[in-house]
């Protein structure tokens, strides 16, 4: 299991969904009594989720590549630090634009159900994306969070399930459309096959403006998997509104990283310089990597260069006190 480390403090995670070409609406303000919003801690792309120390609280993020479902598990006692880290990680997960985001609260200690406002906000963000992200929650029946969500009528806007198995079954009932799956051997011909798949996808989905950049990105991602993982490779291309989502999975759990490539001798091959990921970093709208059960998936979104909307996200986590006043139990 892995977690994104929220140690570096920037506001980039707030802008992530805007860059991904997804539409997200700003939740309404709670009035003048709402405390000033804090910046969301995050990091510039790539968005990488690293291993969580089992002795510390945090968030575990894993992906099922075939269903494009991200499981988002929160561990520890709900307090301001965990709330802030959770919100930032949620925004980064939504930036990847999965089909489904499953929020796993089985290991969360929240006796006052103070986290409810965060889960409601996550649902609002997911609903505002194009296409919308299906968001489900797994909450133990006896937990205070489950009781609070029930009193608020959560079934109308946030499906809640008592077990992780039932939540995953419900998520699997959503049909997957506009996607192309290619299985590759780690050979020198793999990048060319991936590029051909992108050409077919751009033609089928009428996305000619993405053709060159998407081919470049998928070629470099596959080349990187061939050179550094050396395992079977799965490529999944999916349409995301006016953009394309590229996912390259392999069985090596090691996460990619951008290397300092200069200076380097002229006789060093490009993949030995680490140029593949620098090309992805320059050409993709967003990119990152998420652990899977058997390895990892390195993903990238490629959106139009021009004509983007002014997408907006909340400037900070929902403050539990004001949110409680806005959604008070009646």
| pTM of structure | 0.76
Give the CA distances from residue 121 to residues 99, 179, 209, 234, 262, in Å, rounded to whole numbers and listed in that order: 17, 28, 33, 33, 43
In a domain, residue 242? The reply is yes
pLDDT at 248: 97
Which CATH number do you get for residue 191? Answer: 3.30.565.10
Using the 8-state DSSP alphabet, how is residue 143 labeled?
A: S
Per-position b or e across 191-217, b if 16+ CB within 10 A of its CB: bebbbebbeebbeebebebbbebbbbb
Q: At 99, which CATH number?
A: 3.30.750.24
Asked whether residue 205 is assigned to any structural domain, the reply reads yes
Burial tier of 137 (Cβ tally within 10 Å: 0-12, 13-18, 19+): buried
pLDDT value at 6 more than 50: no
Q: How far apart are CA 264 and CA 271, in angstroms?
A: 12
- Statement to judge: residues 272 and 125 lie in one domain: no
Least confident window among 19-23, 39-43, 75-79? 39-43
Over residues 16-25, the mean pLDDT reads 44
Average pLDDT, rounded, for the chain: 78
Tell me whether strands 100-104 and 134-138 are parallel, antiparallel or unpaired: parallel
Give the domain-ending residue among 149, 175, 201.
Answer: 175
52 — pLDDT class (breaks 50, 70, 90):
low
Which tokens in the block code for residue 83? 């709330």
Number of H helices, E strands in the chain: 10, 14
Per-residue b/e over 65-78, b at no fewer than 16 CB within 10 Å? beebbbbbbbbbeb
Last residue of a domain, one of 175, 200, 230: 175
Domain annotation covers residue 104 = yes
Beta bridge partners of 179: 238
pLDDT digits (tens, 9 = 90+) for 91-126: 889 988 999 999 999 999 999 999 999 999 999 999
Same domain, 81 and 158: yes
Looking at the structure, do residues 164 and 49 belong to the same domain, yes or no? yes
Smallest CA-to-CA distance from 293 within 62, 101, 50 is with 62
User: Residue 312's pLDDT is what?
Assistant: 36
Which of 175, 205, 229 is the last residue before a domain boundary? 175
Give yes or no: residues 292 and 199 share one domain.
yes
Q: How do residues 204-213 score in pLDDT, each as one tens digit?
A: 999 999 999 9
| Lowest-pLDDT choice from 49-53, 249-253, 312-316 | 312-316
Q: Cis (ω within 30 of 0) for the bond into 263?
A: yes
The answer to whether position 324 is within a domain reads: no
The whole-number pLDDT of residue 167 equals: 92
The pLDDT of residue 176 is: 75
Summarize pLDDT for 267-326 with one digit per residue, the tens: 555 544 446 788 899 999 999 999 998 999 999 999 998 543 333 334 444 444 334 334
Domain of 85 in residue numbering reads as 2-25+44-175
Give per-residue pLDDT as tens, 162-177.
999 999 998 877 777 8
pLDDT for position 25: 37
Residue 91: name the closest of 316, 329, 320 by CA. Answer: 316
**What gap in Å lies between CA 201 and CA 214, rounded to an integer?**
10
Residue 76: beta bridge partners? 108
């Amino acid at each position: 299991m892995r977690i994104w480390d929220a140690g570096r403090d920037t506001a980039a995670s707030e802008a992530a969904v805007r860059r991904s070409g997804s539409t997200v609406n700003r939740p309404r303000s709670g009035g003048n009594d709402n405390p000033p919003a804090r910046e969301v801690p995050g990091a510039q792309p790539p968005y990488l989720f690293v291993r969580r120390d089992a002795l510390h609280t945090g968030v575990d993020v894993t992906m099922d590549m075939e269903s494009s479902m991200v499981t988002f598990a929160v561990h520890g006692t709900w307090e301001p630090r965990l709330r802030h880290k959770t919100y930032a990680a949620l925004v980064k997960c939504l930036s990847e634009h999965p089909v489904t985001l499953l929020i796993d609260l089985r290991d969360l200690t929240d006796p006052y159900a103070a986290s409810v406002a965060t889960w409601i906000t996550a649902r609002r963000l997911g609903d505002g994306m194009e296409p919308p992200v299906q968001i489900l929650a797994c909450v133990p029946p006896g937990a205070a969070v489950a009781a609070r969500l029930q009193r608020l009528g959560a079934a109308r806007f946030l499906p809640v399930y008592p077990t992780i198995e039932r939540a995953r079954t419900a998520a699997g009932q959503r049909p997957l459309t506009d996607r192309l799956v290619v299985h590759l051997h780690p050979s020198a011909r793999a990048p060319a096959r991936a590029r051909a798949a992108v050409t077919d996808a751009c033609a089928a989905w009428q996305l000619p403006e993405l053709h060159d950049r998407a081919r470049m990105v998928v070629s470099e991602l596959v080349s990187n998997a061939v050179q550094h993982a050396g395992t079977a490779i799965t490529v999944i291309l999916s349409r995301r509104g006016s953009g394309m989502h590229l996912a390259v999975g392999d069985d090596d759990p090691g996460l990619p990283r951008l290397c300092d490539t200069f200076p380097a001798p002229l006789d060093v091959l490009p993949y030995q310089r680490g140029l593949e990921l620098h090309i992805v970093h320059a050409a993709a709208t967003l990119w990152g990597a998420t652990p899977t059960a058997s390895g990892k998936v390195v993903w990238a979104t490629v959106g139009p260069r021009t004509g983007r909307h002014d997408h907006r996200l909340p400037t900070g986590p929902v403050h539990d006190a004001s949110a409680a006043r806005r959604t008070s139990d009646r």
